[in-house]
Amino acid sequence: MGEVYRADDVKLGHAVALKFLSPRFAEDSAALQRLYAEVRVGRQVSHPNVCRLYDVGEFEGTQFLTMEYVDGEDLASLLRRIGRMPAGKAAEIARELASGLAAAHDAGIVHRDLKPANVMIDGRGRARITDFGLAATVEELAGAREHAGTAAYMAPEQLRGEPATQRSDLYALGVVLYELFTGRRAFEGRARGELPSISSVTRDVDPVIVRTVEQCLASDPAARPSSARAVLSAFPGGDPLAAALAAGETPSPEMVAAAGASGELRAGVAWSLFALAIGGIAALAVLSERTMLYRAVALPKSPEALQERAQTIAEQVGYTTPFAASGGEWTVNDALLRWIAAKRAPRNAHPALYHRVTRFSTRPLLPLAIGARITAHDPAPLDPGMVDVTLDPDGKLVRFAAVPPDRVDARAANDVDWRPLFADAGADSARFHAVPAVWSAGQVAWDGTFADQPNVPVHIEAASRGGRAVAFRVYGPWDEPRPLRDPPRPRRPQRRAARRGVLHDRLRARRSGVR
């Protein structure tokens, strides 16, 4: 019913998603009311595993809703592309779906359309429940006979025309989890044949998970788990209390009571540990001015602002294909720290100690390590069009690297105007002169200084392919260059001649029969 677009909020400086009604529903008052209802119901849920809904807007008579932009891929297309999810990652996504669904149920909402197409896997590999277009509150559904949902994921009572309940969502969750662990569609439309057990399809799924999914798929709603939190508790490693705290929620008394028995400490041990904790906090407060690196460096721009700046640089260089995913992290310039210690340089006489590395890709960024976040090295920069942009906290360019396309136009001129990247780095190209490249990735290089630091020598190297920049990096005197090739080893003619003489004597002795 809707079309979703990525957009940039120019006032707040971050990406959002805009959902419009399809043109054939634009004049449908019922569909318009459902769009309003989606925001009214969905914005009641605030959870890391649920896509946030913001507001309803209008432009030239066209209604749309604004919601959180999730950089990633929906679970349905992901499963079509890779087949069955690895058991460990599938278990992690299952816990996140149960946690997000529990948050919706705690707000008194029934989703009614939970399916892989309405689950996004974001750039960090986390599951996010989306599309509350058919969601309604428990009170609104009481006694209702509305037939709504996707048939292949509807519970038997929904197919019979009975009102949907929160346990109907648990049935849909079971269908989604079955596909997640097996890579196979559970049902097609309304058909409900005999469903093979997960363990008959794959043997690397924990039996507890198999039993929990089968319980969710029970035809009788009363035989299903009592709640989404009960599903979360049943999964190995699932801790609903810890999940609620991590999501910023206030655990209910029932949740705390179900978290397990508490232990006891003797009064003497407890007071000793308390005193140790207070002493540690006091010591940390005293030493933090000397030990906390961030206190020595001002961070004037937020990660979101730096990411927008990095994307602008990438598009300026010519990488204009829409990016499907992005991620980043702060790194510390260890080489600069060592240089400061050796030179005893003042802290305000060198570039920032922190760098913000942002990665963009035209494909989803999925770290190799399960549950890991996107870093400067994971996933590896292998996909054509993947771009890494490193900025200092002020937004000045430190490093640009891009994976070139597999095939380029050989006729394309390889001359690149490097002045825009010089400007992005805060450097005046007129203060630099060409020199030979000394780093392995460089084709052209320059030496010079920044206008605000004329006493600090700076070396810049760059490379291009097919008429587009693929590398640009600013080096300081603290960086140790890697030469393009290893220097030849010095020859030692006297030692080599001596070795030949010894070998000749041994061969002559063997021919004469001497041992």
Which residues participate in catalysis according to the annotation?
A: 113
Distances (CA, A) of 63 to 16, 23, 34, 466: 16, 11, 12, 44
DSSP 50: B
Dihedral sign, CA of 96, 72, 45, 221?
negative
The Cα–Cα gap between 473 and 396 comes to 11
Cβ proximity of 136 and 158 under 8 Å: no
Task: Assess contact for 64 and 115: CB atoms under 8 A.
Answer: no
The residues, ordered by sequence, that sit 6+ positions from 293 with a Cβ below 8 Å of its Cβ are 332, 353, 354
Q: What is the largest CA-CA distance in the chain?
A: 110
**Cα–Cα distances in Å, from 490 out to 422, 474, 495?**
39, 32, 12
Strands (E), 410-480: 432-435, 444-450, 453-465, 468-475
Q: What is the 3-state secondary structure (H, E, C) of 192-251?
A: CCCCCCHHHHCCCCCHHHHHHHHHHCCCCHHHCCCCHHHHHHHCCCCCHHHHHHHCCCCC
CA angle 414, 355, 326 (to 5 degrees): 70
Q: Alpha-carbon distance 116 to 489, whole Å?
A: 60
Do 405 and 466 form a contact (C-beta atoms < 8 A)? yes
The two structure tokens encoding residue 209:
């998970």
| Residue in the structure block whose two tokens are 């009614």 | 112
